Amino acid sequence: MSLTTNPRPTGIPTPPVTQGRPKPTLRDKYGDRAFTIGATAVLLLSILAVVYPLYFIVIASISDPNAVYEGKVWLLPSGITTEGYERIFADSRIWNGLGNTVIYTVLGTAISVSTILCGAYALSRKDMPGRKILMLLFVITMFFDGGLITKYLVVRDLGMLDTVWAVVLPGAVGVWNLIIARSFFEHTIPNELREAAQMDGATDFTFFFKMVLPLSKPLIMLMIMVHVVAQWNSFFDALIFLNDDSKYPLQLVLRNILIQSDVSSTGTTGGDIESYAAAQRIAELTKYAMIVVSSLPLMIALPFMQKHFTKGAMIGAVK
Amino acid sequence: MSRTIPAGRGRPAAALLPQRKNSLSLRLKRISRAWQLYVLLAPAVIYILVFKYWPMYGVQIAFKNYNPVDGFTESPWVGMTHFIRFVNSYQFGQVVGNTLWIAVLGLLLAFPIPIILALLVNQLQSERFKKFTQTVLYSPAFISTVVVVGIMFVILSPRSGLVNNAIQLGGGDPVFFMGSAEWFRPIYVISDVWQNAGFSMIVYLAALAAIDPALHDAAKVDGASKLQRIRHIDLPGIMPVVTILFILAIGNLLNVGFEKALLMQTPLNISTSEIIQTYVYHAGLQQAQFSYSAAIGLFNSLLNLALLLVFNTIARRANQATLW
């Protein structure tokens, strides 16, 4: 960054920054251009690496399974078929799992978000006696954890095994989310507002529900989305706490079909090798379609959620 | 938390006296005045006591022979038996080694890539392309772990998978990726980057956006190239965030990705895919060896905690941002 190599004539006063970018020097212009081209190329390749596998899944899900099997499907679907999707929609396990997931997601999100918002607001109040000790109580659990086994035993001792509660309660409050919500309240709710409200006789309850919550819509949206996504995608708590497969959420059904290679959904009726191989290909086709169907709701919602998540990252970064 | 009452200038001493006498009752008064706040906090506290501290209390079964009748408290003590058994078992070296392998590989790749991506995206001139890149790169974070592993199985399938089709097109022999021990680690780490790099990038982009643009303008006037500005302005600007996230990553080193490892496990890759936590799951929940696997889990937690403390201390010595 030595100034001596800068060929800009010293007689001309430096233009004010507000008038646009100062002219780059010749050497730097080429260096910068090369850099910009390189950066753009890297990013385009990254985009391709992210998008292509997903795109392939989509086209494979509507292509003739034989064409996929023979490696003929690369850029466009071939021999369009909707058989994969038809099989999924005819599969009662999928519908049942979807229904369970919707219930768990709605209930779990409601519990988590309301607990976090109320708790975080209380913790954001500097005039609450014992605030520091209570906060410490939460923070400790970020660094030390009782572990999987004792968590399982506690849920069992509570009699929650095989119930909805085992899916929605054990992971309800993430301390990280609590901290984000607390710092949001600390930064956006001015003390003067509360003092004024208290003058007018507002209690903590009325202030929180009538003033704080309406002012915290971005935070509430963020929290709802974080929990909807997490609950929609979770499978592990269901795996360890549920035995009854009529209560399985979608992700657990998917795991059994996609990963444990459960072919019964394709309705194979034994028979010769030929029909077995055909059934195998149909099973693969169903898998592609299943990946599409299960990811679609969140992918469609993504553009709407993006704004809130970006804001959330900002809140988190302020910390 | 005792409050010292400032000696009021010109205030009659008598006015201070009763207050000092009643400081305890004053404090009680402040507590009772805040009762509504405690009510708001109560659900969260109850949650954390039941689902975090009760299991923590239960960790004592690592030193006991747990049986359901006696519960956490009454089961008989056996000291370090379970730890000794684990350390002497033939799985110990394998399981700890596998855990460290994917943890360290993951950290080496998955930690710097989001930073690099953020620095590059931040340099883009077009706001629209910037936004598009962001959205695309972080969209895989919304796909569930189950589906990501499902994608691996279909794309890497030896019979009909995309990757093997490409290999065969190039004249190679198909590889059974999900059924081979050597491929588990690369697939695990690459899929981790694929899924999470874009999302991790957002925090850094937020930190970059907070850098004072005047610094860049000044550097431009001085003739600094883009690369120089990244090196001397952007990187130092996001360093505190980088340090904190690094310490947190270290603190979670042995925890992350356990669900994915479990899903990716096949009988054929178990020699590299069995990590501490999947072992806890198999030994504890599938074979009901509660005390033994609780001991292994505790071993894992303590190792994590130790790593966190060490790195936080190092960061403090180096005068970087720390967690506390």
Q: How many C-alpha atoms does A12 have within 13 Å on its Cβ side?
A: 9
ipTM: 0.85
- Residue B224, chain A, CB below 8 Å: the answer is yes
pLDDT, tens digit only, all 319 positions of chain A: 333 334 444 444 444 444 455 555 555 567 788 888 999 999 999 999 999 999 999 999 999 888 888 788 888 888 888 888 998 889 899 999 999 999 999 999 999 999 999 999 999 999 999 999 999 999 999 888 888 999 999 999 999 999 999 999 999 999 989 998 999 999 889 999 999 999 998 999 999 999 999 999 889 998 999 999 999 999 999 999 999 989 999 999 999 888 876 444 444 444 567 777 778 788 888 899 999 998 888 888 887 887 777 776 666 555 4
Contact present, A111 and A227 (Cβ < 8 Å): no
- Residue B146, chain A, CB below 8 Å: the answer is yes
- Contact state of B136 with A50 under an 8 Å Cβ cutoff: yes
- Contact state of B220 with A314 under an 8 Å Cβ cutoff: no
- Contact state of A287 with B142 under an 8 Å Cβ cutoff: no
Q: How far is A68 from chain B (nearest CA, A)?
A: 7
Residues 6+ apart with CB under 8 A from A187: A318
CB pairs under 8 A between A and B: 300
Name beta bridge partners: B64: B77
- Contact state of B217 with A17 under an 8 Å Cβ cutoff: yes
Question: Is pTM, for the whole model, over 0.90?
Answer: no
Task: Tell me which residue in B36, B263, B280 faces A255 most closely, judged by beta carbons.
Answer: B263
- Contact state of A122 with B125 under an 8 Å Cβ cutoff: no
- Contact state of A1 with B223 under an 8 Å Cβ cutoff: yes
Strand, helix or coil at B125?
coil
How large is the C-alpha radius of gyration of chain B? 27
Give dist(CA B153, CA B133) in Å, integer: 27
Taking CB atoms and an 8 Å cutoff, what residues of chain B touch A169? Answer: 47, 51
- Contact state of A8 with B225 under an 8 Å Cβ cutoff: no
Tell me which DSSP letter residue A74 carries: S
Task: Tell me which residue in A22, A31, A317 faces B206 most closely, judged by beta carbons.
Answer: A317
Q: How many C-alpha atoms does A298 have within 13 Å on its Cβ side?
A: 23
- CA distance to A157, A295, B104, B185, per residue, from B189 (Å): 37, 22, 10, 6
Supply B227's token pair: 């690369």
Interface test with B, best of A47, A128, A150, A241 (most B CBs within 10 A): A150
Residue B33 reports pLDDT greater than 50: yes
Task: Tell me which residue in A5, A50, A294 faces B194 most closely, judged by beta carbons.
Answer: A50
